[in-house]
A and B are shown apart, each in its own frame.
Chain A
Amino acid sequence: ETGVTQSPTHLIKTRGQQVTLRCSSQSGHNTVSWYQQALGQGPQFIFQYYREEENGRGNFPPRFSGLQFPNYSSELNVNALELDDSALYLCASSYSGRGHEQYFGPGTRLTVT
């Protein structure tokens, strides 16, 4: 069984730029959630995708957007990067209807300078 994978591992961007982060869900899972984790904090929910549609959104501005593809992989896009966007971005996959247990990938460390 393949686990959740994310790319890239690390990324350095300049304020105002745009970034795309990618996630491949665990085999058999159809739901992907994205979280932002600042240093010393718990993960904060950004949004979730199910059947290629956004299925819930946290308190993040519209410049955070996403996609889910037919193979259940997903992208997180962030426009007009701000210094406060520096964080670990986590992707989690789950199977809708089975316990809501979410399995996380290793994360992408984004640094905005």
Chain B
Amino acid sequence: EDQVTQSPEALRLQEGESSSLNCSYTVSGLRGLFWYRQDPGKGPEFLFTLYSAGEEKEKERLKATLTKKESFLHITAPKPEDSATYLCAVLYTGANSKLTFGKGITLSVRP
């Protein structure tokens, strides 16, 4: 069964303290990997799509990277407003457009 595993489950950072969130996935048949941000009680907000190993995308303080077996979401000098749950989802070959999600990483940034 296709699986997506995110780590750590929760991360507490001081404002300005950079870190990385990890997403590992079943290797075969990757069509795309997606990062979302979700605030409590709201729907996920699309951040990035990555399609092939070596690809990188950036948006403000966030940078997503992809290797053949995992993806990282790097957060540089985070601010309290970056506090949220970050979800990773994978689209596999033959799965139509079904996204397989990880459980998410809850990030808290203290001022």
How many residue pairs link A and B with beta carbons under 8 A? The number is: 70
**Is the beta-carbon distance between A106 and B95 smaller than 8 angstroms?**
no
Q: Per a CB cutoff under 8 Å, which of B4, B89, B97, B103 touches A31? A: B97
A58 to B100, CA, bound (A): 10
* Identity of the chain B residue whose Cβ is nearest the Cβ of A108 in the assembled complex: B43
B43 touches A96 (CB 8 A): no
- Which residues 51-90 of B have a CB within 8 angstroms of A? 87, 89
Residues of chain A contacted by B103 (CB below 8 angstroms): 40-42
Q: Is A56 part of the contact surface with B, judged by Cβ < 8 Å?
A: yes
Verify A100–B31 contact, CB threshold 8 A.
yes
Q: Which of A31, A40, A105 contacts B43 (CB 8 A)?
A: A105
Task: Give me the interface of A with B, judged by CB distance under 8 Å.
Answer: 4, 6, 31, 33, 35, 40-45, 48, 55-56, 58, 88, 90, 92, 94, 96, 99-107, 109
